[in-house]
Structure 1
Amino acid sequence: MSFDMVVIGAGPGGYVAAIRGAQLGLKVAVVEREHLGGICLNWGCIPTKALLRSAEVFHLMHRAAEFGLKAEGLGFDLDAVVKRSRGVAKQLTSGVGHLLKKNKVAVVMGAARLEAPGRVVVQTDTGEEVLEAAHVVLATGARARELPGLEADGDRVWSYKHALQPKRMPKRLLVIGSGAIGIEFASFYNALGAEVTVVEVMDRILPVEDAEISAFAKKQFVKQGMVIREGTQVAQLERRKDGVTAHLSQGGKTTKDAFDTVISAVGIVGNVEGLGLEALGVKVERTHVVTDPMCRTGVPGLFAIGDVAGAPWLAHKASHEGVMVAEMIAGGHPHVVDPDSIAGCTYCHPQVASVGLTEAQAKEQGFDVKVGRFPFVGNGKAIALGEPEGMVKTVFDATTGALLGAHMVGAEVTELIQGYVVGRQLETTEADLMATVFPHPTLSEMMHESVLDAWGRAIHF
């Protein structure tokens, strides 16, 4: 079968690329070996947010008295919580299938490999199908990294998939890794009553975030009862029928601690195996396909987008790269997706969100910076919501007023961050943001005040 474009992988990068290509008049096929929607819709972004919403509601139920309300006999049904999460994922996966059909994208279920440039062989349930196209887009995504001795077994040591469909409620939980995945699961199980310990090999949790935001988040997690161990490595896991003994190394000393469950969240590796990339001369480094800023691999007609093409490992980055590549294939001249203008969001409690350079990164790059901060406790809407713990931080180029970065921790900051993302995309300056009227009473007013504070003009703090 001949197409203008064949996309390998139907996650948030692949299915979006396929739909955009079809919109532009291309004949498109998408190959998927497991689930439409990929990891994000089935095992990542969406089902985890459904779980975290249940945890958030449960947390608020325990605070009912603060709001003049009464709630008695509080409890939860873990199976029902998981069932809701899986239902949300299923609904959206079905929606992807509908969108592909609506846009007349051919869907081929099976495992793909590149036999030659522009020639894709798909192993289906009924045999092999050969798809030919002048342009092929790799959108095969990534999977959880497994370190020797820390491999998930589905019983005592869980991957994110096991944690999404738990066979029991953990009592003493060890989370290895404090990136977005680790911290979100730590937050979820902690809210439901587990004793949670988070181990991070770096010197601070949430290591990709601004150091000030990481420190603030850590303080809140500890207040919620979590144990945070930074600069710590898991040297060994002794697995037993009834639990796991973890050997934790810190500062040259090793201690042992007992847990009934461990979640390993130590990063991801790209899905590059079995695709025939080596024979085509595609360059792969640290399990990720090397591309130029336009997602070209160096092999004519072959592109790579999303997680398989490297950091940042975010669904929205994959989607925009998919659109960019589809538009290039159709003869357009789209803008490059700028990694520094892509927001990162972590849906723990409190939420964490950021875009652009941290204060340390800006200084390392030689910028003379102006930094503004504003606390949630100074905002009327935050106090009315009962969410006074948080902070908005902005980093500017002192010379030009350019917004270099924005970093937040607190309630609903994953929604607020987009305001600064738009600002960076439009190359805004502090003068533009200062002149912008923010509605009252809203959490977004803190964004305004943080900008004002960078120039010593904050009103409410």
Structure 2
Amino acid sequence: MSERFDTEVLVVGGGPAGYVAAIRAAQYDLDVTLVEMHALGGTCLNRGCIPSKALLSAANVAHDARTGSQMGISADVDVDFQRMVEWKDDVVGNMNRSVEKLCKANRVSLVNGRAAFEDEHSARIEGPNGESERLTFEYAVVATGSRPIELPGFEFHRPEVLDAKGALALDELPDSLVVVGAGYIGMELSTLFAKLGVEVTVVEALDSMMPAFSPDLVAPVASAASELGIETNYGELASECHPTDRGVAVTTEDVDSGDRREYEADAVLVAVGRTPVTDTIDLGRIGIEPDEDGFVRTDEYGRTAVDHVFAVGDVAGEPMLAHAGATEGEIAAAEIAGRDSSAVDRAIPAVAFTSPEIATVGLTEAEAEETDHAVSVGEFPMRASGRALTIGHTEGFVRLVCGDGGVVLGGQVVGPEASELISEITLAVEAGLSAGELAESIHPHPTLSESIEEAAANEQDLAIHTLNR
């Protein structure tokens, strides 16, 4: 390291993208300083992925116990929501401490504070008690993440208006909840609260649920939501809300007719997406201007318009996924260290932890047909899976989308443990494996993973446990 710099690599933001970039850079023997304003782990660990999945797991236990009559189980379940939240907080706290230990064990210097650029090689760090210091760096990695989009009239400082963070930190369950937004975050949280006995009403300006996924993947989720008692209202734009004696009244306008409706509930949860955080770091001081959507433009290695400054994670744009950000952090660290970063053509899975789960990777059938490939498809329904039958969750299917020579170009899974099953398909896409090679790989019985083997065999008209296409 040049003696004129305080640190070789300054990482701003300690979420999945930032702390992974910091640890990997340190593993490459670089001197690294990581600055985080709040708790290590970022939104994902502290206010998003981990706490929501912890509460979803608990809600699933309660729901399965209540609805186990087909297995001969009847139960009157008492949910101690305060204790459930305490358990969730313990999970988050343990992981937060683990990230801190990993950073320190890898010789990453940790600084609690807000970092903002002063010039191309220095930043001012304001500590939690108002103190500040100047830190010079050779390279910088911006990993400031994203925050929930706040709708006009639905400001999050209002006690009756919740974002995901507020919803996951409630002290007690509301009796009723209006959810604005039927994207994957809105539907995950709607499922969570409905399984805990909350009356949930969803309003969505678009004409469908979770439009990022194809309708046949979403259909089992919509059906399950209906069975849970979730009321969904499409084509309605949430226009305003006001407090009531009960809690809140949400007014919507029909996007076609303009007709207004009002929904009353204890609270309203706004889940209409996230926006990148670029207003805390003074990017303009080093000549970096976000694009029209607020994201920092980068090349495939995470490098910005300033060669020695990188941006990774949500702040660098879609896909705004924790595992994508972590991978970008690894790539940026490798590029800074002069290592092979393998940045091109990475297969990135996407998952919605709804009921049932949805997971996708690579190309859909429609996308593959727009290429020069001779497209073929293999499918296997979960209702034909012995393991799915034994756990009482048979909704959904596995689909493999293949190109020339049966090479797997993508896959879609909807059903139990889709989030786990997608990894094998991701590996197949990444490694250029064929459906034939997947079909020849022996999967243990009885497991859900056999559905991938059968879908692969179905692509060749050789499936045993389902009719071939």
Matched, 1:187 2:191: yes
Structure 2 distance, partners of 1:54, 1:195, is 18
In structure 1, what residue type is equivalent to 2:437?
D
Match of 1:411 among 410, 416, 438: 416
Find the residue that maps to 1:406 and give its secondary structure.
Answer: strand
Structure-2 residue corresponding to 1:45? 49
Shift of 1:308: 0.5
**Is 1:113 equivalent to 2:120 in the alignment?**
no
Pairing partner for 2:361 from 348, 355, 365: 355
1:305 CA drift (Å): 0.2
Q: CA deviation at 1:361?
A: 2.9
Q: Is the 8 A contact 1:117 1:300 kept in 2?
A: no
Deviation at 1:258, TM superposition (A): 2.3
Match of 1:213 in 2: 217
Partner of 2:457: 452
The reply to whether residue 79 of structure 1 matches residue 85 of structure 2 is: no
- 1:23, 1:153 → 2: CA distance? 41
Q: Residue by residue, what CA displacement relative to the aligned partner does 1:249-272 show, whole Å, maximum 9, x if unpaired?
A: 254243333222211001111110
Query: Percentage identity across aligned positions?
Result: 35
Verify the 8 A CA contact 2:66 2:74 in the aligned structure 1. Answer: no
Distance 1:100 1:267 in 2: 30
Cα distance change of structure 1 residues 369 and 254 upon mapping to structure 2, 3 Å threshold: farther
* Alpha-carbon shift at residue 126 of structure 1 (Å): 5.2
Look up the match of 1:342.
Answer: 348
Aligned 1:231-270 pairs, distance under 5 A? 231-242=235-246, 243-252=248-257, 253-270=259-276
Q: Cα distance, 1:337 vs. partner?
A: 5.6
Of 299, 314, 333, which residue of structure 2 is paired with 1:292?
A: 299
Unaligned runs of 5+ in 2: none
Please state how far the C-alpha of 1:198 moved relative to its aligned partner: 2.0
Deviation at 1:376, TM superposition (A): 1.0
The amino acid that maps onto 1:318 is: G
- 173, 176, 180: which is aligned to 1:172? 176
* Secondary structure in 1 matching 2:280: coil
The secondary structure found in structure 1 opposite 2:360 is strand
Contact preservation (8 Å) 2:37, 2:112: yes
Distance 2:55 2:224 in 1: 20
- Asked if 2 retains the 8 angstrom alpha-carbon contact of 1:157 and 1:262, the reply is yes
Are 2:311 and 1:307 equivalent residues in the alignment? no
Q: Residues 50 and 297 of structure 1: is their aligned pair in 2 closer, same or farther, counting only changes over 3 Å?
A: same
Among residues 417, 427, 430, which one is paired with 1:425 in the alignment? 430
Stretch moving more, 193-202 or 86-95? 193-202
In structure 2, relative to structure 1, the CA distance for the partners of 1:283 and 1:365 (3 Å cut) is farther
Three-state SS of the structure 1 residue aligned to 2:278 is: coil
Give the conservation status (yes or no) of the 8 Å contact 2:141–2:309.
Answer: yes
Which residue matches 2:229?
225
2:277 is the alignment partner of 1:274: no
2:372 and 2:237 map into 1 onto residues whose CA distance is: 33
Deviation at 1:104, TM superposition (A): 1.3
For residue 279 of structure 1, give the secondary structure of its aligned residue in structure 2. helix
Q: Could you say what secondary structure the match of 1:289 adopts?
A: coil
Alignment of 1:97-112 (within 5 A): 97-112=100-115
**Can you give the 5+ residue segments of structure 1 that lack an aligned partner in the other structure?**
none
| 2:207 is the alignment partner of 1:203 | yes
8 Å CA contact 2:21–2:326 kept in 1: the answer is yes
Residue 339 of structure 2: aligned partner = 332
Moved more, 25-34 or 1-10: 1-10
For residues 367-398 of structure 1, the C-alpha deviation after alignment (integer angstroms, 9 at most, x for no partner) is 5432222211101011011111221122222x
TM (normalized to structure 1)?
0.95
- Alpha-carbon distance in 1 for matches of 2:377, 2:236: 31
- Separation in 2, partners of 1:338, 1:205: 29
Contact 2:250 2:268 in 1 (8 A): no
1:162 aligns with 2:166: yes
- Pick from 93, 96, 99 the counterpart of residue 93 of structure 1: 96
Q: Aligned partners of 1:403, 1:194: CA distance in 2, in Å?
A: 42
Inter-partner Cα distance in structure 2 for 1:452 and 1:221 = 32
Q: 2:407 matched to which residue of 1?
A: 402
Query: What is the rounded CA distance, in whole Å, between the counterparts of 1:216 and 1:363 in structure 2?
Result: 25
**Cα distance in 2 for residues equivalent to 1:378 and 1:59:** 24
In structure 1, distance between residues paired with 2:422 and 2:158? 36
Contact conserved, 1:342 with 1:355, CA < 8 A, in 2?
Answer: yes
SS at match of 2:220: helix
Partner of 2:14: 10
Shift in alpha-carbon separation, 1:154–1:54, aligned structure 2, 3 A: farther
* Distance apart, 1:12 and its partner CA: 0.7
Name segments (4+ residues, structure 1) moved above 6 Å: none
- CA drift of 1:438 comes to 1.7
Code of the residue aligned with 2:84 in structure 1: it is: V
Residues 19 and 369 of structure 1, relative CA distance in 2, 3 Å threshold: same
Q: Does 1:439 align with 2:444?
A: yes
Aligned residue for 2:16, secondary structure, equals coil
